[in-house]
Amino acid sequence: MSIVLSLHQLSKNYGKVQALQQVSFDVPQGCVFGILGPNGSGKTTLLGIIMNVLQPTNGNFTLLGKQPSNEVRKQIGTLLETPNFYHYLSGERNLEIAATIKGVSKADITTVLEKVNLYERRQSKFSTYSLGMKQRLAIASALLGNPDVLVLDEPTNGLDPVGIAEIRNLIIQLANEGKTIIMASHLLDEVEKVCTHVAVLQKGKLLNTGTVDEVFTTGDSIATLQADDLDQLVTVIKTLEGVQKIQIKNNTLQVHFDTAILSLKSINLHCFNNGIVLSSLQLQKQSLESKFLALTGGLTVNH
């Protein structure tokens, strides 16, 4: 799998303030990569460096396998802040101006308007758009030129639940079309719903990175099991890999595992192969928020 973005010990200082501290990670092609952290964690600084708005103090990075340059960045659609659309012009006219500024063809304006579900309102003035529509027009602008990679900074920031759902569905749709999406967010719920990979930042430091499942796997999965012969069930379960603790409560076995990836199928198959037919089996996993709090040592992220 190709690497779209590769960071190597990237740092950024503002005087004595370290906004980024030796951050390194890779973004695989075709993923939805979330850069997660609260305000002040360095997310926007990181995206600003990638898109040449800021210069790093130390470290380097590659884009699309090349050294960053204006030519390479032209292959990336960006939404670092709400574009300065003209309020008295229509959505379509604003995109025509954006295409001219970017130096890309205006031929796909209709296509991007349809993609963000604004074609029917293309002649309406920007001032009449809801916040969600304005954000979707901004994403339409980022899609001009049909880039394979999108960089979005807090794409749902300030939106109501309906607007958040619209942007979320749009991101999922674009990902399904094969685009690589790099998005910064302080919303843990958004990362869970749309991202395949994540990097967690706290005060400029990278805490962890990988797939969402990998990063938020912190152990303490609990399975509850029932069978006719609990004593035999205990004996069999003890031989299952990853068992940390076994408790019996109300004729039900509670089994704590040291991994959060264990599946119901693997537990059931192990029991069946050892002569136990389970009458009940449930797997409880930590919520994503619990895992995040465990990872960050109690740091909270706004919902």
Global pTM value: 0.76
Backbone angles phi, psi at 55, to 5 degrees: -110, 135
The string of DSSP codes covering 130-161 is -HHHHHHHHHHHHHTT--SEEEEESTTTT--H
Q: In the sheet that 32-36 helps form, which strands lie side by side, from edge to edge?
A: 76-79, 149-153, 180-185, 32-36, 197-202, 205-211
Cα(55)–Cα(52) distance, rounded to whole angstroms?
A: 7
Residue 94 banded pLDDT, cuts 50, 70, 90: very high
Q: What is the pLDDT of residues 155-203, one digit of tens each?
A: 998 888 888 999 999 999 999 999 999 999 988 888 888 999 999 998 9
Q: Which domains does the chain have, with CATH numbers?
A: 3-215 (3.40.50.300), 221-285 (3.30.70.100)
